Amino acid sequence: MGTMNKSFYGWRVVGAAFVLAMFGWGLGFYGPPVYLHALRELRGWPVALISAAITAHFLVAAMVVANLPALYRRFGLPAVTKAGGIALSLGIVGWSIAREPYQLFAATLLSGAGWAALGGAAVNAIVAPWFVRTRPAALSMAYNGSSVGGVVFSPLWVAAIGLFGFPLAAALIGVITVVAVWMLADLFFAASPEQKGLRPDGDATAADGTPEPQARSLPGRMLWRDRKFLTLTAGMALGLFAQIGLLAHLFSLLVPALGAQLAGIAMGAATAAAIAGRTLVGWLMPGGADRRLFACGSYVVQIVGAVALMAAGGTNVPLLLAGDLAAAVDRAGRVRQGGRRARGAAHHCHRPGIVRVRARGVRNLAQFLARNRGRRGRGSADGLR
């Protein structure tokens, strides 16, 4: 991987992306499980209805991600990031004040679009131009903000809603998010390495004038002929579909046995376990290891966690906590695979064509799975009551 130039300005950008990920995931990813419980308590809406809104939230995000490169080219990354912070905050406020289902689904248009501008593709677009050799390490550090977002915001949302109610809590956290994102965009995301007169990784110009070696890029349709890319993407998309479905209901599953406050802390502890698991995988996985085997191992952990949650029957606290933590460690393992994969095919993920074709593939798969999930939604909702 090479040595790190710790004084390089790009590491400040990584720190800013870390904070951005914390807010983005805290509101757009780890927030919906708490929103589901709050809306069910506040409005009495069925779980199937709120779950459908959460699905709409993520589908809108996938559609916006597919068009992020075009938005960046037209408006610039800082402006899109600011708009994303505003849209996500307004969308969550819309969730909190919705009195009719159609208002809730309208709010998901804003929250989903905002989450896309503060999510994984955005973090990659922010960090990737600053690094080549050390890009995997830089992305891993930035993406740790997503797990910290779960540690901070899961119990924070529960406490704030308990103290102020959902609408006021959403407004307060939303204002803080907008101010933080606006400052990050102005201070750290406005300039490119070239505008600052810097090279990726903080390197000086090569003494012999030879260019940095670049990974092979597969633009457009060629990418869909890469079997390794197809199988990796399909496996990760299916895994994330199952994971998000579980995460969306996890808080509501924990509340009857633990209470709202302890359930929020348990959600935060799970994401802390994700950080520990990611770090452990990073230390234990050799550089030349078959990362697919490690990914399969993480899925085994997810299966164990899901079985533990089912065996708990909603009442066995040790099994509930074991399932909660197992699912978190699984998240860590699969996120690490993606981060380490950045040296190969994902090396050029920041290029608009690559981002677009990947996002479209995930979007289409998500739409297909969501339709099938919808057919089972009512039965699943009854089981959660």
Q: How far is CA 307 from CA 74, 90, 303, in A?
A: 47, 37, 6
Predicted structure pTM score: 0.72
212 in any annotated domain: no
pLDDT at residue 328, rounded to an integer: 60
Is 243 in contact with 330 (CB distance < 8 Å)? yes
48 in any annotated domain: yes
Domain holding 152: CATH number?
1.20.1250.20
Find the mean pLDDT for residues 209-224: 58
216 in any annotated domain: no
Q: How many CB atoms lie within 10 A of CB 233?
A: 19
pLDDT at residue 331, rounded to an integer: 53
Q: CA 250, CA 268: separation in Å to the nearest integer?
A: 12
For the chain, what is the domain count? 1
**Among 2-11, 63-72, 127-136, 171-180, the least confident range:** 2-11
20 in any annotated domain: yes
Q: What is the domain range of residue 140? A: 10-196+222-384
3 in any annotated domain: no
55 in any annotated domain: yes
213 in any annotated domain: no
Tabulate helix, strand, coil % of the chain (nearest 5).
Answer: 80, 0, 20
Nearest CA to 16 out of 172, 106, 138, 132 is that of: 138
pLDDT in tens, 322-365: 776 666 655 544 444 444 443 333 333 333 333 333 333 334 33
215 in any annotated domain: no
pLDDT in tens, 235-276: 777 877 777 777 766 767 777 777 877 877 777 777 777 777
Quickly list H helices, 4-76: 10-28, 31-43, 47-66, 68-75
